[in-house]
Amino acid sequence: MLSRRHFLTSLVTVAAAQAVSPTISFAEQKRRIPWRNWSGSQQCFPEYRKAPATIAELQEIITSSTGVIRPVGSGHSFSALVPTDDTLVSLSRMTGIVDHNPDKLQATIQGGTRLGDIGQPLEDIGQALTIMPDIDQQSLAGCLA
């Protein structure tokens, strides 16, 4: 179990190490838009930011990009899942219910859909999530990952 003291000590250590030895020059950081998770414990300065609206666009990004491609959701994770200086891909434009089967009580929902945005559309088709977290801004794909 991670104690609060251990977490804060680790956070300060990482922040100090980044301040002393940044991986990207200050001038380069100013040209790129920084990405940070909600707590600020993870950050990066991606060269490219992409937000496909279709599967075909997503496939094009994946096949044409060079370097590291990282998906990003709401930035709720504490772990270093997202940071990259290459390509950051957001599924925020790939949202909503794609299909549903009322007989099986199943729905296909796009990965960029925020948990807080899916309750009413599911209710409208006679379905629902059995439990919701207190913080509902995470994307569905992020929760599953």
Q: Are 112 and 139 in contact (CB under 8 A)?
A: yes
User: Which ranges in the chain are annotated with CATH 3.30.43?
Assistant: 21-90
The residue whose two tokens read 């940044």 is 22
Residues belonging to the chain = 145
Distance of alpha carbon 124 from the chain centroid: 27
Dump the DSSP string for 104-131: TTEEEE-TT-BGGGTHHHHHHTT---S-
Residue 144 CA: distances (Å) to CA of 23, 74, 84, 88, 140: 30, 13, 21, 19, 6
What is 21-90's CATH number? 3.30.43
The rounded average pLDDT for each run of 10 residues, N- to C-terminus, in the chain (145 residues) is 62 52 50 85 92 95 93 82 90 94 93 92 89 85 78
Question: In this predicted structure, what is the pLDDT of residue 20?
Answer: 43
Question: In this predicted structure, what is the pLDDT of residue 30?
Answer: 54
